[in-house]
Amino acid sequence: MKYNKNRKNREKLAISQIQSAGMRLTPQRLALAKRLFSGPDRHITAEELHSELKYADVRISLATVYNTLNRFTNAGLLREFFVDSNQSYFDTNTEPHHHFFYEELGKFVDVPINNLNIEFLTSPPKGTQVDSVEVFIKLSKVDSSNKK
């Protein structure tokens, strides 16, 4: 895989953030960080990441993948979100943003926060204010004969 300069910088930044969060940079964590941060933004489950690492001959247990993803999330390197009741995804884009969700593919694409206008129908509860609104826009294909 070819990396451009930004991606390489991002990976370096992630590594320095891991270290400044007080985490030891084990070979497993490094491999995991490279998978997450050396390419475009990703939305991935622990299971998907675990199979990718296994395929790349990285010896790491699913429990360690979970644990590391949670630690990265706590350190602000990732954001965790849920789509179904118990399927959590980890997002490498930690800025507020919306998502297109291709239900059939189980795939997410980021939508910049300013690309969607939302009018509030209700006011927030008394004593609170709206800090941000993030939306999942579920999509399905119109022409199913052209399925990938």
Residues that bind Zn ion (CB under 5 A): 91, 93, 110
Angle of CA points 148, 106, 9, to nearest 5°: 100
CB of 108 to Zn ion, least distance (A): 6
Instruction: Please identify, using beta-carbon distances, which residue of 109 and 118 lies nearer to Zn ion.
Output: 109
CB of 102 to Zn ion, least distance (A): 13
Instruction: Please identify, using beta-carbon distances, which residue of 64 and 73 lies nearer to Zn ion.
Output: 73
- 116: phi then psi, degrees, rounded to nearest 5: -140, 125
Instruction: Please identify, using beta-carbon distances, which residue of 33 and 90 lies nearer to Zn ion.
Output: 90
CB of 126 to Zn ion, least distance (A): 31
Angle of CA points 100, 46, 49, to nearest 5°: 90
What's the N-to-C CA distance of the chain in angstroms?
A: 23
